[in-house]
Chains A and B, each alone.
Chain A
Amino acid sequence: MTHVEALPTWAALATAVLVLIGAALTLIGAIGTLRFGTFFERVHAPTLGTSWGTGSIALASIIFFSVLESRPVVHEVLIGVFITVTTPVTLMLLARAALYRERAEGSTRVPPHSVVRRARHLGAGEESGNDAP
């Protein structure tokens, strides 16, 4: 890494801290997928890496290249925006597929479809689903 000689110390420190935070969040999320017992708990784990994990590594890259080339380099924002927009789509589709599969098997661990239909008769009262074990 001979190209970083021109980099001031504050920029190197900021890049280092942000890269480490992002990688640590991604690692914690991956450990979460190992530790959680059910699928619907595991859905929460990768969002650590896709929200602030991606955000802070992209931010580190922006700081690094902007200072290195002494002009604003912000194209990493595109990755942040793209991940923020696409992750909910993927996870929502996946959660619905999992719900559909569990219901098709007659599992009692997921609330039945009547939970989201019930309030039409009762009015918009405080409705709550049954808890998973």
Chain B
Amino acid sequence: MSRVLPYPLLTAGLILMWLLLNSFSLGHLLLGTIIAVAASRVMAALEPSKPRLRRWQLIPRLTAVVTLDILRSNIAVASVILNPRRCDRVSGFVAIPLELRDKTGLAVLACIVTSTPGTAWIEYDSDSNILLIHVLDLVSEEEWIALIKNRYETLLMEIFE
């Protein structure tokens, strides 16, 4: 099983994508399966580090939290842009000491932080495990550190570590 299908999730995702791009029919299912199996074996030849999912049942909760947060910060950033009197707004850099070490978890955190308007991932040092982000509307640094750590990092650590 593991030698024929090294990455079952990747293979299933590729078949799904093939069927979405083309219409569903038996021929496309067969062709998509062949291509997906071949592509996942190419992926195995590249030997990437294998991510481990500890508690995948928390992923829907993380998705819901992130979607709502992105919606909320969209409104916040739009009001910052459209309001001409917000001259007293301060933007700045915040350094956050992280406890998350897992590479996949860090990649997901980077996606979350960057795709949320209002925060941008700037730099990360793997030795000291400190993350530098830029915040558009910086009221208090402690609040942002607590937000990132409590809202996302604890969930990601439960999922990946």
A/B: CB atoms within 8 Å of each other: yes
Whether the pair A120, B127 counts as a contact (CB closer than 8 A) is yes
B-chain residues with CB within 8 Å of residue A117 when the two chains form the complex: 125, 127-128, 130
The minimal Cβ–Cβ distance linking A18 to chain B, given in whole angstroms, is 13
Q: Interface on chain A toward B: helix, strand, loop, or mixed SS?
A: helix
Whether the pair A99, B81 counts as a contact (CB closer than 8 A) is no
Q: Which residue of B lies closest to A50 (CB)?
A: B115
Whether the pair B132, A111 counts as a contact (CB closer than 8 A) is yes
B-chain residues with CB within 8 Å of residue A92 when the two chains form the complex: 110, 114, 121
How many residues belonging to B are interface residues under a CB distance threshold of 8 Å? 45
The contact size tier of chain A is 35 or more
Whether the pair A87, B115 counts as a contact (CB closer than 8 A) is yes
A115 interface residue (CB < 8 Å to B): yes
Interface residues of A (CB under 8 A from B): 25, 28-29, 31-32, 35, 38, 40-41, 43-45, 47-48, 50-52, 74-75, 77-78, 84-85, 87-88, 91-92, 95-96, 99, 110-111, 113, 115-120, 124-132
